[in-house]
Structure 1
Amino acid sequence: MEIFDFLGEDIITEQKIEKNKQLKSEKQQIKNELHKQKVVQKKKEKKKKIKQQKYEVIQTLETQEQKNDFVHQFKGLRNQRRENGIKSLQSPFKIIIDCGFEENMSDKEQRSLARQISELYQENRKLDIPLKLYVTNIYPILHKYLEQYHYKQWQLISDERLFIDIEEFKQANIVYLSPDGEEELQEIKEDEVYVIGGLVDRVIMKNATLNRSRQLGVRSAKLPIGQFIKKNYKKCLNVSTAALMISGWLQYKDWSKAFDSIVPQKFKEQEAEMQ
């Protein structure tokens, strides 16, 4: 009787665990679907807002010639971004987003990573000197979130493989950017490929990207931004901001000016604090 009771309790416990797993999975699926709907709705609202703004500007113009010029300029800007996307594929300045941190991120953080990659892609299309972007080590969950932004249609290179396994980079001069690196990056060179860790960590993981570079056997370096950031603020940038810092240096050939033009105000050391 005691053996029967023991086995019975064990079976009930396993059933409860399995049921909890199923409920958790169903909740996550619902959460993911709601997030997908939210992304789609935001895109619709943004498109509608741009259309409304365009209409309002046209209404303020007096002559048909002015209206035609405005529409022509608007289409020109859109075409310019498309051309910049094509131009980026020929850029000598290569940036890899290494998405090999799945185990270190929550589901929310992985969704945030997909959003940051999307933001980077959109901003890169506006640059006078666009970067050639690679997104590597894409795993199934991240693929699902990137699909919400239709990333397969983007003018960049995406791959499920680790970047060191891609033929193009086997003999390349790789520099893995890490806020924990000892060496400071002084300049951006055409013959170097820069890797940014695709890691979103609300609670900063010390040495995560540095350990990653050591594990892969590639050189690491940090962006020289410590002197520009508030003393009480973290010395690491998110994925899109780190990449845009590189584009800022290419434009100004000066890290201070690049930082001032790219990084949000909340990061910056106030003039009063610097004195």
Structure 2
Amino acid sequence: FKTRQAVSCPIYMVMLCSGISLRHITVEKSEEMRTLDLDKWKSKQQDSSSLDATRDLVAMWRQAGKLVPQEMTEEEVQTLAGLTTKSSRKKYLKYLAIKEGHKRARKEKQQQRKAEREASMETRRGRDSDAEEERGPELKNTLFLQFWGRTLDKHLAWRSAQAMLFDQPLVFDMSYESNMARRELENTVSQLMEVEGWNRRATEPYHLHFCNLQADGAYQNELLKRYGAEAWDRLLITSSDQQHVDLFPREQLVYLTADSPNVLRRYDHSKVYIIGALVDRSIQSGLSLANAKRLNLATARLPLDEFLHWEMGAKNLTLDQMIRIMLTFKETGKWEEALKFVPKRKYDGFHQQQTQKEITKKVRGVTNPGPRQMKGL
């Protein structure tokens, strides 16, 4: 007891001498904590009130008969609340409503197909049961099909793993987040998933590289949302937040862009081709070319004008079309085979086919002369 008193007495005496009371210290600390808690509470109330106001606005527009979605996620509400102008909010809500309509239509089609499939299976079961009574039971192939499906998946996975070790790299540049709207970025990720699927099923797949893929970025979050964390980790591709110039020698890199003045005449297996992961609906011409020039990289474009009678519009192709073109060109070395994956609505045949059509028309014009030609005869 004496020891405790000896230790605590000087402290108490110092407090008395300096005029500081213990109650005063406690009151100041409690007031400070109360002020901090109040500020946090106010910020939370403001955030929640803005989200509630946004939800009320959407409900009011829905009752007014405007094109808005029936359901919205918390992330979509936060995105809408961050938009400042009325026109941008209307456009975003219209996009969500159209997207929701497409999703609902797909679901209805799936349910309709499922009902038709079940009806046909019931009909087939009835026929099979009638036939089985006549000829006896048979061994069904369900187990074989399941075994075949698993074996095929393992075979494709093994081929992709071999490509990661020995085959030619193909780089997708993921540095265009700030150049796209939300809808364009979602379309880009959808096309990248198609790219991975076509490459995995190819006879000689590429070793796919997703470069400039920032952690917690828009690309990364959307890919994780589509694939799921486990499937994304098992995906046989290489993703990196580094630039392609940091992973490969600069002299091996060739950036494929529609704005390049250089034409890709022949396939070079020693090069590393780069494709910009970009869906550009606003047609920002020269964007990927400027990116390549800034890094002092060689550029090339596909010989679309040299082989195709291009009808109209910009010569931009989707990412899944590009991977099929590059896989075929890599395998055959012939642009005539590779450019068959360009959508036919964009061009009016190959140059050679067009020349044959003109010759045929001329020959028909001579063999079947018109009235004026008959008068001349």
**Smaller-chain TM-score bracket:** 0.7 to 0.9
The one-letter code of the counterpart of 2:324 is L
Partner of 1:26: 78
Give the Å deviation of 1:229.
5.3
Alpha carbons 2:304, 2:310 under 8 Å: kept? no
Which residue of structure 1 lines up, in the alignment, with residue 239 of structure 2? 158
Structure 2, unpaired ranges of 5+? 1-45, 55-75, 82-91, 129-136, 359-377
Structure whose CA Rg is larger: 2
SS of equivalent residue, structure 2 residue 348: coil
**Partner of 1:127 in structure 2?**
202
2:178 to 100, 103, 117: 103
Query: C-alpha separation between the residues in 2 aligned to 1:273 and 1:33?
Result: 43
Report how many residues are paired: 245
Query: 1:33 offset after TM fit, Å?
Result: 11
**Displacement after TM superposition at 1:264 (Å):** 2.9
Equivalences for residues 142-181 of structure 1 within 5 A: 142-150=219-227, 151-166=232-247, 169-181=248-260
Corresponding residue for 2:270?
191
Alignment match of 2:162 (pick from 87, 107, 128): 87
| Equivalent pair of 2:213/2:242 in contact (CA under 8 Å) | yes
- Structure 2 counterpart SS, 1:223: coil
Report Cα offsets for 1:230-269 as digits up to 9, x if no partner.
Answer: 3214212122221221101122220111111x33332342
Who is 1:239 aligned against?
A: 319
SS class of match (2:254): strand
Taking a change above 3 Å as real, the CA distance of residues 229 and 83 of structure 1, as seen in their structure-2 partners, is farther
Conserved? CA contact 1:182–1:222, under 8 Å: yes
Q: Distance in 2 between matches of 1:239 and 1:208?
A: 16
Secondary structure of the corresponding residue to residue 116 of structure 1: helix
Residues of 1 paired with 2:208 and 2:263: CA distance? 22
Shift of 1:155: 0.5
Q: TM-score, normalised by structure 1?
A: 0.74
Larger RCO, structures 1/2 (Cα 8 Å, 6+ apart)? 1
CA distance in structure 1 between the partners assigned to 2:235 and 2:183 by the alignment: 23
Q: Deviations over 1:104-147 (max 9, x none)?
A: 11111111111111110011110001011001112311111011
8 Å CA contact 2:192, 2:320 repeated in 1: yes
Q: Percent identity, please.
A: 19
Give distance in 2, aligned partners of 1:165 and 1:33. 39
Structure 1 gaps of 5+ residues are 1-14
Alignment-derived partner of residue 290 in structure 2: 211
Match of 2:31 in 1: none
SS of the equivalent of 1:149 reads: helix
1:27-80 deviation per Cα after TM superposition (whole angstroms, max 9, x unaligned): 4499899989x7xx98xx7xx98xx89x96x97998426444433333332222
Q: CA deviation at 1:221?
A: 0.4
Q: 2:339 aligns with which of 259, 266, 274?
A: 259
Tell me how large the CA RMSD over aligned residues is.
3.8
More helix by share: 2
* Distance in 2 separating the partners of 1:63 and 1:134: 49
The answer (yes or no) to whether the contact 1:172–1:193 under 8 Å persists in 2 is no
Look up the match of 1:117: 192
TM-score (norm 2): 0.56
